[in-house]
Every structure is written in C-alpha cells, then in structure tokens.
Structure 1
Amino acid sequence: MHTSSKSRHGTVRALSGVLLALALALTGCSGGGSDDTDSGGGKAAGVAPDEAGRSDGKQAGGGRGADSRAGKKQPVKPTDTHVIRTAELTVRVKDVPAALERARTAAEDAGGIVGNESTSRDDAGRERSRVVLRVPQDEYEDVLTALEGTGKLIDRDAKAQDVTDQVVDVESRVASQRASVARVRELMDKATKLSDVVSLEGELSTRQADLESLLAQQASLKDRTSMATITLSLTEHAVASDAGDDDPTFMDALSGGWDVFVTALRWVGVALAAVLPFAVVFALLVLVWLRRRPQGGQGDDGAP
C-alpha cells in the first residue's frame, strides 16, 4: 500500500513537473511572440489610421508636387547660334564648261542660287571660270563635297564667323527704335502748336531713318546667316605639264638645236648691223690717213 501510494505520488509529481515545464515553455513562447508583435506590428498599429493617411498623403502629395513641378519646368533652350559661312575653292578640271555646269546643278539642287560668273583665257590658252554660289546653311557641307569632286582640288579656304551677339544687338535696337518712333507719333497726334508739329516731324524723320538703317542691317545678317557663300574657281589642266612627262626624241633634240643655231645667227646679224656704221667710218678714216701720209723714202732722196 505505502509503496503503491508513493509510486502514485511520484508519478503525479513527475507529471506535474512535466506540465509545469510545458506551461513555462508555452508562456515563454507566447511572451516572445507578443514582444515581437509589439516591437514590429505594435508600432505600426500605434499609428492612427488618419495619421497614417495624412503621412502617406503628405509623402504622396510631395511626390506628386515634385513630379508636377518637374513637368511644368521647361528646359532652358540654348540661344540660337548665327554663323556666317564662306568658302573659296580652286579646282583643276579637264573641261571647264562641263565642270561649271555641274557646279550650277549642285547649287540649284540644294536650293541655292548662282551669283556672279566670269570666264577668261590665259596666255597659254587655258580657260578659267569663277562663279559665286549661294546655298542654304544645311546643304553647305554637301555642296562643298560635290564641288571638290569635279576635279583635282588645288586650294580650299573655309571660314565661319559667329555673329550671334551682333544679331541679338540689332534685334534689340530695332525693337527700341520702333517704340521710339511710336512715341513720337503719339506726341504728334497730341500736339496743337505748329512749332511743336514741325519739330516732331523732324524728329520722326530722323528716327525713321535710323530704324530703316537697322532693318537693313538685320536683313543683311539674316541673309548671310541663312545662306552660305561659296566662290569656285575652275582652271584647265596645263598642256605643257602633260607633255613634259614624255622623254625627248632625236627629232626634238635636232629641232631644239636648229632653233638655237638660228637664234645665234640672228643675234650675230644684229651685232654686225650695229657695228657696221662704225666700221665704215673707221675704214674711211684709215684710207684718208694712208693717202695723206708722206712718202718717207722720197723725201730723203730729194735732199741736196
């Protein structure tokens, strides 16, 4: 009896100890879970829905505002550049008229025009032509390449002058001068005295003349910056240089020697013709001297 009761009590204590250990283990697990919940989800839950909404709203609103400002802000455009382009080309070709026609076609196909043109021949009979072409700025390089391909390029001089500041200055002065002319006209409409009207008319005439001068400068700059100028010089191949590549023959040497001989005889004849008058006079003087010279032997024999 006592033994069995002790064994039951021991079993109960063992079960109690196991249950207590399990309870402590479960309590520790539930405490760790709650801590994790408080540290993670609790903090998130601590934020009120309206506050979270306001916070998200501010962030979202700030993002939309930044995007909106970025969308409304236009990129700064660089100032338009105004450049005057000019070029001078010298090309040696076999056929000047044909090359000149190709140059005209290249300029006209590019939307340009043909300006001054002149043709002449040098002492050797070689034909030369000079033509001024005006082509749009966008087609400038293409036309230059086409012109260089008409023959052998001898010389090229291309220049680019930036006149952006000058264009902006003239535009500003034109606007100011127009406003000045408008103010003078308003004063003329309000003037009642004849002297005032006469004075204002003189001032208006002066300001209108200045405005027309500025407008002429503006038109000239616009024309020179929109159209490039190309001056093309075409020359034929030298015949002498082409023939000089051949080796001289016996007939060439004989012909050259004969030319030298004839030239030498010509110069000898010229020299003799120049000396002949002096030789004739000298001969006459010698002859007179010889006739007037006394006979030395006769004088000695006739003496007593």
Structure 2
Amino acid sequence: MAWQQLHLQCEKANVDLAESLLLEAGALSIGLEDAGDQPLFEPLPGESPLWDEVVLTGLFDAATEIGSRQAVERLGNEIAAQAHASRIWLSAVEDKDWEREWMSHYHPIECANNLWVVPDWITPPNPDATNIIMDPGLAFGTGYHATTRLCLDWLSEQDLNDKVVIDYGCGSGILGVAALLLGARQVYAVDIDPQAVLATNQNATRNSVESQLQAFLPEDFTTFCAQHNIVPVDVIVANILAKPLIGLAPYFATLIAPQGRIVLAGLIESQTEQVSDAYQPYFALDPKHAFTAQEDQHWQRLSGTFTG
C-alpha cells in the first residue's frame, strides 16, 4: 500500500476551508468531485462553479508519518469538525506504473461503416478496416465520448473524396485524421490549446497523413487563411461547446462554400434552439441528417443566402 486517500463530503461553502486544511496537513494533491448528480453548465469567463455538495479527496504518502492510516484518520476527523463535513472515509491506493496505467482503459472502438479507432499500442482487430491509430496524449478526443462517436459515424457516411475539411476544436485531431483516411484531400485543424495542436500533428504522423493536415492556433489559422486564400472549404466539423459555437457562427459562414456542410457537436438538448437561432441567418438546418440524440446538429449552407 503506497497511498492513503482521505475523502470528505461537504457543502460548497466549506470547500475552500477544507481544501486549505488538507494542503496545510501535507496532502500531495486534492481532487473535487460531485457528491450527487448535479450538472454544471458552461461558466462565464472567470467563473469556477462548484456543485452544491462536493467530495474532496486528499492524497497522502502512506510511507510517511503524516500519511499513515491512523494519522490520516485523525486528520479527517479534525477537518470534518471544522469544515462541517457530512461524512468522511479513507481508501488505499496501490502503487502502479501510472504512466501506463491509463492505457489499460482504452480498447479499439468500432464506428459505423467499418471505421475503427485503435490505440496505437494495440494491434488493429480488423487490419482491412479504416483504422484511425490514436494516442490522445493530453488532448480531448479518444473516440469514447458520445459527440466524437456521432461525428465519426457521420463522417463515415459522407463522400469526402477530394474535399477540404476544417476540424475546429480539433483536440487530438481524431476527426481531421478520420476525414483524411476517408478520402478528404486536405484538413486544417484548429484549437485554442497548444497541446491539442501538438497531439493533432503527432496523430497525423501516426496515420501517415501529415502531408495533408496542418494544425493551428486560431490566430495563426486566421493569418494563414489571409495569406494563402484557402477558403471556402467543403466541410467544417466543430465538436466544442454551445457558447463558442454561437459566437463562431458568422466566422464559420465566411469559411464554408455554398452547399458546403458544417457539423456542430457538443450540445445538450436545451441548447439546440439557441445554437439554431445563431446559425439560421447563414445556414439551413438539414433535418434529414440531424442526430436523433439531439446532442449535435448538421447544417447545410444555402447557396446565395449568405449576407456576409
């Protein structure tokens, strides 16, 4: 046994106090989790919302005096009294090769139309399939998230031959790489996170499509477009969140060709109407291809209706 975890459940008003007490006592790390099943929606800039009831978990080295079970249990009782915790408990964590432990949780995923997502440390179960070889690194996009799967399924149903695609909010680059493996001629991938740009380039190399994919931070992409006149493009895939999607509507309209398609993902049902209102001045909803899960919507550009 290498680690002791101290868990405390308390109201969000007492979280700061409990967190400070854990740090003062020598906790190596502190995690915060929802104590119930309360959704948190997108925060405004500068906000860091918490759930009404929070579970704090402090990690201690069991090989030290302060990390022994008796010491951690005593500490938990002291913090619970001061932070008015409703319950406390301990758990042990065995020491593992943590650099590789996360890999055990990933396995190949079969998507629609013989498209697979395969971790790069696993042999593809179907070598004749279209296999996307992925290592997500620190970026979003393993293929396990519902919105990513829906986008992959949609891409697998399209005729992407010789198409130019923008993957906006590319994360690991999984959607852009998929588009190229499915026949696209060129992909421009964009993300606000430099780690995502790095992961996208690495995954493009893993799939031998690096010559057809370029990844950018948003400001660099804007400069690149102005210098190289690469727009309009045929397809935009944007698997992000409702608020940035709403703000990007006019910009996306400048990037897409008439009769081109834009796929918006990362929504919950209550946000679809607001996103729809933002895009209707530039795009027409294609109900034939709307996802029944209502997490995502597909939009098709109306020729001649763009007002710039």
TM-score range, shorter chain: under 0.3
Which structure's residues are more often helix, by fraction? 1
Could you say which structure has the larger radius of gyration? Answer: 1
Task: Tell which has more relative contact order, 1 or 2 (C-alpha 8 A, sep 6+).
Answer: 1
TM-score for both structures, normalised by structure 2:
0.20
